Amino acid sequence: MPNATTVRKNQDPRVAHTAEDFVEANGIQLCWDSFGNSAHPALILIMGMGAQMVGWDDEFCTQLALQGFRVIRFDNRDVGRSTWLRDAGVPDVTRAMMRAWMRWPVTAPYVLSDMARDVIGLMDALGIERAHVVGASMGGTIAQVMSIQYPERMLSMTSIMSTTGDPDLPKPHPTATTAVMRPMPSKLEDYVERYVDTYRVLRLGQFPEEEERDRVRAARNHARGVNSAGGARHLVAILASGSRKEALKDVGVPTLVIHGNLDPLVPLAAGLETAQCIPDAEMMIVEGMGHTLPKALWPQLTARIAGVAERAA
């Protein structure tokens, strides 16, 4: 595979897309690529539970690169082309959820702070001292942990459709929970249909033009490798990590919180609480947005992400 620092031919250097490459980080191997000029400030994208780095669409990354960033996305541990921790076993997700709801301790092979250290390890391997960090869903929780534990490595934080982990927050809608908890089929055709149906639920029927894009995303995921057990371990990591509500009150990183008013998986109240906890955080409520990032919203999302980054200048 070509080294990821090598830009593909005939590309505009402002949005140049590197090939996928690998680094050793926090004792595991992470797959990553980047968009934009390597001399520009780094902006790291962290995806959600069970989702691969290509969940950040190429065009979305390009739009951010045009805002003047070196955009880096990567596969979290246990998904895509990064290390799969098969020896960790498959957790009993139902039991873990029940224990969390009862406010009993949840055990997990790793927790969000381990995943935050993965990102720090990626930054170290790439020679990045500080970065703007953008996380979606579980990725937002990882970004929050970074802002608590490694503020000196962050320039700004954007937490999208995420939560503080406070157990008193409203629970997901049962339909959304059912949609994301279903095992994904291994056969390509079945996987694509299940993926499309899941994201239709998470959009609440909004942005129907996204369905064709979902088919392309699903096929790309399938080709890169689907690890359902990894998604289960992600969920248990979230549950075992508990609440960040009090710790977020001491965060000094310039912060933007983005949340859709229709989110059925992580209700809007979770985003509002996140913004209320973090001093001087900006809150962006996106009308019509569920638990997805539709293309029609990208211009306003990328503009606001660039805006909070300017606060760190």
- What's the pLDDT score for residue 12? 76
* Confidence label for 1 from pLDDT (cuts 50, 70 and 90): very low
193 Cβ contact partners less than 8 Å away, ≥ 6 residues apart: none
> Tokens 């979290």 correspond to what residue?
76
Cα–Cα distance, 265 to 276 (Å, whole number): 20
Q: Can you tell me the distance from the alpha carbon of 119 to that of 147, in angstroms, rounded to the nearest whole number?
A: 12
Instruction: Answer whether residue 144 shows pLDDT above 70.
Output: yes
pLDDT given for residue 15 in this prediction: 84
Kindly indicate the confidence band of residue 183, based on its pLDDT and cuts at 50, 70 and 90: confident
- Residue 171 scores a pLDDT above 60: yes
148, 244 Cβ separation under 8 angstroms: yes
Residues 6+ apart with CB under 8 A from 208: none
Report the DSSP beta bridge partners of residue 157.
133, 255
- Please give the average per-residue pLDDT across 270-278, as a whole number: 98
Instruction: State the pLDDT confidence band at 101, using cuts at 50, 70 and 90.
Output: confident
Pairing of strands 21-25, 28-35: antiparallel
- The per-residue pLDDT for 273 is 98
- CATH number for the domain running over 21-311: 3.40.50.1820
- Among 151, 159, 129, 127, which residue's Cα sits nearest to residue 45? 159
Burial level of 168, CB count in 10 A (0-12/13-18/19+)?
Answer: exposed
Is 12 or 95 the better-scoring residue by pLDDT? 95
CA 279 to chain centre: 22
What share of the chain in percent tops pLDDT 90?
Answer: 92
State the Cα angle at 142 between 164 and 5, rounded to 5°: 155
Residue 7 is classified by DSSP as B
Q: For the beta carbon of residue 94, count every other beta carbon within 10 angstroms.
A: 9
Distance CA 277, CA 18 (A): 37
Mean pLDDT over all residues of the chain?
A: 94
Rounded CA-CA distance 251/185 in Å is: 41
* pLDDT range class, residue 9, cuts 50, 70, 90: low
The yes-or-no verdict on residue 6 having pLDDT over 60 is no
Dmax over Cα atoms in the chain, in whole Å? 57
Annotate 58-90 with b (16+ C-beta within 10 A) or e (fewer). Answer: eebbbbbbbbebbbbbbbbbbbbbbbbbeebee
The residue ranges of every structural domain in the chain are 21-311
16: Cα within 13 Å, side-chain hemisphere? 16
What is the helix, strand, coil percentage profile of the chain, to 5?
45, 15, 40
